[in-house]
Amino acid sequence: MLLWLRANLGTICICAVLAGILALIIRHLLRQKRQHKCSCGCSACPNSAICHGAPKAQKTPPRL
């Protein structure tokens, strides 16, 4: 078993690094989706209003 680990240590390290990078990318995409953002440049897209809807107006507290 130890001999196999020594022979494949480089491959195991590279796979671990790639899996970590993939996990970070997925985490980033999920956070963007939760915040209703997109990763593309939707400013020039004619359907951007349909995809994301109109921006919500912020509520102001009532004046006393």
pLDDT in tens, 6-45: 999 999 999 999 999 999 999 998 998 888 776 666 666 7
Q: Is the pLDDT of residue 63 over 90?
A: no
DSSP character at residue 44: G
pLDDT of residue 9: 97
- Sign of torsion, CA 35 40 44 45? negative
Boundaries of every domain in the chain:
1-37
Q: Is the pLDDT of residue 58 over 70?
A: no
Q: Which two tokens stand for residue 27?
A: 């985490």
Q: Within 13 Å, how many C-alpha atoms sit on residue 15's CB side? A: 5
Written as one letter, the residue type at 64 is L
**Considering the entire predicted model, what is its pTM?**
0.58
